[in-house]
Amino acid sequence: MWGKSSHHLLLLVAISINALFDSVDCINPSSFPPDFKFGTSSAAYQYEGAALQEGKGPSIWDIFTHTYPERIADHSNGDVATDSYHRYKEDVAIMKDIGFNSYRFSISWSRILPYGHLKGGVNPEGIRYYNNLINELLSKGIQPFVTLFHFDLPEALEAEYGGLLSPKIVKDFRDYAEVCFREFGDRVKHWITLNEPSSYSIVGYGYGVFPPERCSSFLGCSAGDSSTEPYLVSHNLILAHAEAVRLYRKKYQISQKGQIGIILAMLWYIPISQSKADEDAASRANDFSCAWFLEPLNSGKYPEVMVKHVGKRLPKFSRRQALVVKGSFDFIGVNYYTTYYAFNVPCQTENQTALTDACFNSTTERNGVPIGPKPGTNWLYVYPRGIQEVLEYTKEKLNNPVIYITENGCNEIDNGRKSLNDTVRIDYIDRHLVYIQRAMRNGVKVKGYFTWSLLDNFEWNSGFSVRFGIIYVDFKNGQKRYHKRSALWFKTFLHQWNNESRH
Supply the DSSP string of 358-391, one letter for each residue.
Answer: T-EEEESEETTEESS---SSTT----THHHHHHH
- Residues 424 and 12: their CA atoms lie apart, in Å, by 7
Other CB atoms within 10 Å distance of the CB of residue 308: 11
The letter for the amino acid at 478 is G
The letter for the amino acid at 497 is W
* Residue 90 known to be catalytic: no
Name the helix (H) or strand (E) containing 89.
helix 84-98
Task: Please tell me what DSSP assigns to residue 163.
Answer: G
Residue 373 near residue 427 (C-beta atoms within 8 A): no
Which residues touch 268 (CB under 8 Å, ≥6 apart)?
286, 289, 290, 336, 338, 339, 340, 383, 386, 389, 390
Q: Is 347 helix (H, G, I), strand (E, B) or coil?
A: coil
Q: Is 93 helix (H, G, I), strand (E, B) or coil?
A: helix
- Residues 112 and 120: their CA atoms lie apart, in Å, by 10
Residue 268 near residue 336 (C-beta atoms within 8 A): yes
**Closest alpha carbon to 167 in 115, 238, 215, 110:** 238
Name the helix (H) or strand (E) containing 334.
strand 331-335
Residue 197 near residue 189 (C-beta atoms within 8 A): no
Other CB atoms within 10 Å distance of the CB of residue 235: 22
Phi/psi for 300 (5° steps) reads: 80, 15
Instruction: Please tell me which residue in 48, 295, 407, 412 is annotated as part of the active site.
Output: 407
- Residues 47 and 43: their CA atoms lie apart, in Å, by 6
**Closest alpha carbon to 489 in 431, 438, 439:** 431
37, β-bridge pairs: 448
Residue 436 near residue 455 (C-beta atoms within 8 A): no
Residue 112 near residue 84 (C-beta atoms within 8 A): no
Cα separations in angstroms, 53 against 48, 111, 292: 11, 9, 38
Cα separations in angstroms, 189 against 91, 100, 136, 144, 352: 21, 17, 15, 7, 43
* Residue 407 known to be catalytic: yes
Instruction: Please tell me which residue in 196, 243, 389, 412 is annotated as part of the active site.
Output: 196
- Residues 121 and 227: their CA atoms lie apart, in Å, by 36
Q: What angle do CA 275, 276, 279 make, to 5 degrees?
A: 90
Q: Is the dihedral of CA 165, 150, 289, 220 positive or negative?
A: negative
Residues known to be catalytic:
196, 407
